[in-house]
A and B are shown apart, each in its own frame.
Chain A
């Protein structure tokens, strides 16, 4: 566990978010791949609630006079695993395949955008650290 992620709660969170979004991409890919498999129940990978719980243990208020520090322990974030819920087809017609292809495509795009957002934010923070470490030269 690098010292950077120990000191900076936000960077630790961003790292974890990248991992989780990668897994989510694979789960969505499985749903899309099995859009025609009889009896298949699409899986949905949820983790935002767990993230919110791990982060909101300490309420952080940005105040100009106090350099408060984040009390998010690296462990509470690292242990987030997310959960999978399956939603089987309830219509009882056809081959009992529960995949809604249009919904899965939307999920795919949204997940990709959020992944790239986390990536960009992580990059920005790293670039700032590099800049400061180089004394701005």
Chain B
């Protein structure tokens, strides 16, 4: 009856991981962006996840478990306000009076590790959907 809640939970997670992947790819694309429309170098972005309650109808049926059913959403996209890297490059158009440019505080290695973690979570959630689908299809075979 309630495998559809499983679909909702897993798809909320997939949506959240996709957003996370988008922020990571934005970070990687802007590794060397020294100027943004808001002024200053590009600031590294990251996602902040938060749980959302998922079970609505079956609060009446099994209230013990229904509080435990939680999906996930991106609460906000945080901007990293730490100090940008300063690199000496006086010929750059954005160089300040001392000849330094400010590069974004993005470590490519860290972003790639984060990306593989996001992909792994995404794949785990597709497995959840596959298993829920298979269970529901099995239920259709009762009495056949």
Using a CB-CB cutoff of 8 Å, which residues 66-82 of chain B contact chain A?
67-72
Q: Considering the chains assembled together, what is the distance between the CA atoms of A104 and B120 in angstroms?
A: 13
Instruction: Specify the main secondary structure of chain A where it touches its partner.
Output: helix
Query: Contact at A30–B54, with CB atoms within 8 Å?
Result: yes
Q: Given contacts A30-B68, A126-B142, is CB(A35)–CB(B121) below 8 Å?
A: yes
Tell me if A29 and B128 are in contact (CB < 8 A): yes
B134 CB contacts on chain A under 8 angstroms? 112, 116
Contacts of B16 in A (CB 8 A): 33, 36
Q: Which residue of A lies closest to B73 (CB)?
A: A37
Secondary structure dominating the interface of B: helix
Q: Which of B37-86 contact A (CB under 8 A)?
A: 48-51, 54-55, 62, 64-65, 67-72
Q: How many residues of A contact B (CB 8 A)?
A: 39
* Contact assessment for B65 and A32 in the assembled complex, using a CB-CB cutoff below 8 Å: no
Is there contact, CB below 8 Å, between B138 and A26? no
B142 touches A33 (CB 8 A): no
Count of residues in B whose CB is under 8 Å from the partner chain: 45
Q: Which of A56-102 contact B (CB under 8 A)?
A: 81-84, 86, 101
Q: Establish whether residues B70 and A105, one from each chain, have CB atoms under 8 Å apart when the complex forms.
A: no
The segment from B2-10, B88-96, B99-107 found at the interface with A is B2-10
Minimum Cβ distance to chain B for residue A125 (Å): 11
Q: Which listed residue (A34, A115, A127) contacts B13, Cβ 8 A? A: A34
Inside 8 A of B131's CB, which chain A residues have their CB? 25, 108-109, 112
Listed from nearest, the 5 A-B pairs whose CB atoms lie closest are A33-B13, A43-B68, A37-B49, A29-B9, A29-B6
